[in-house]
Amino acid sequence: MINKKFLIPFLFTPIIFVLSACGDSDNSDDSPEQAKFSLGISDAPIDEADAVFIEIDEITIAGTETTVISTFTNENDEVVETIKINLLDFQGPDQLKIVDEAQGVTMLPGTYSMELLVVDSGSYVLLDNDATEYSIKVPSSRLRLGDFEVSATSIQIGDTPAYTIEFNLRESLVMRGNNPTKNGYIIKPHGVHIVSEYGTLKGDVSSDHTNLGSCIVYLYEGNPTELGDSYDTEDETFEGETPTATAPLISTLVAVDGTYSIGFVAEGSYTIALMCGTDIDDNIQYNALTIPSPAGNKTTVEIVKGDVKTIDF
């Protein structure tokens, strides 16, 4: 079962929405350059969950101006009024485009924030061997995300949007209530990132490591001196003082075949580390886990747009 303490096998989930922007064709000197948008979604596996459904009714993008997106493109390229996605169907570098650039959504370049209006009745988690629909609750049904930059030079290439909202479910999906009286789940903005220029990390983990237990790959911004496990000091249930160890930006579970993949990693410098064993990593509380484990399983990596970097452990 999944509970507020995610077993190490409870993978980071990158969940991901994607937006694309390109210059407007109007060459008038009096008309500000516009950006066209498209949107997609992606995720990564979660332990003990068969499905994580989220249904979106509306997307509001606010900044220099406010744009409301209220129609979507489904898998059959049909325009629909709401879009319901099983996030686990689109993992790693895969994504589902849910707003096509052809829908004609445009806005001025600048700094924006995003808000998703979620349909509560269509958002829920299905667990292994359990037919119960455990509801996903979002305060006021509105998931408010952080700022991101819209640029007229970011373009959709084919069916691939240029902006990505990555949902790290291992950080953002939290169960309320304890087993067996589960009280549904909450998706929080914590662990959700919007990226534009991105690459992919992937690799294999030796059986010498996977034989120790479940393995998680952690990704940190920069080169922290102290690597921490997942925690959220802003959660109302967090206990204790703020740790000195740096929390990961992203974490992902190593698959049973010893492979891992982290999609939609924004351009920049990172530290990547492995932890294998039987310890529990609570996604809210700091557990002071030893990372890397076994010792020495970490390295730094540079990501630029379009990279597919392979790092084995």
Region of poorest pLDDT, from 31-35, 114-118, 183-187, 290-294: 31-35
Rounded to the nearest integer, the mean pLDDT of the chain is 85
Residues near 19 by beta carbon (within 8 Å), at least 6 away in sequence: 37, 38, 39, 99, 150, 161, 162, 163, 164, 165, 194
Q: Are 14 and 43 in contact (CB under 8 A)?
A: yes
**pLDDT over 90 (residue 297):** yes
Structure tokens at 143: 């998931």
Q: Which of 291, 6, 8 is nearest to 172 (CA)?
A: 6
Q: Could you give the CA distance from residue 284 to residue 39 in angstroms, rounded to a whole number? A: 29
Q: Are 75 and 83 in contact (CB under 8 A)?
A: no
Provide the pLDDT for residue 107. 86
Residues near 102 by beta carbon (within 8 Å), at least 6 away in sequence: none
**pLDDT over 70 (residue 129):** yes
- Over residues 33-87, the pLDDT tens digits come to 788 788 877 776 666 788 889 999 999 999 989 999 999 999 898 999 999 999 8
- Over residues 230-253, the pLDDT tens digits come to 999 988 889 999 999 999 999 999
Report, as an integer, the average pLDDT of 296-300: 98
Structure tokens at 25: 């064709």
- Over residues 247-276, the pLDDT tens digits come to 999 999 999 999 999 988 999 999 999 999
Q: Where are the beta strands (DSSP E) in 138-289?
A: 142-150, 163-168, 173-175, 185-187, 192-195, 198-204, 214-221, 250-253, 259-266, 268-277, 280-282
Q: Are 167 and 16 in contact (CB under 8 A)?
A: yes
Q: Could you give the CA distance from residue 224 to residue 137 in angstroms, rounded to a whole number? A: 34
Provide the pLDDT for residue 156. 78
Domains of the chain (ranges, CATH numbers) = 5-24+33-196 (no CATH), 201-310 (2.60.40)
Matching residue, tokens 């060459």: 27
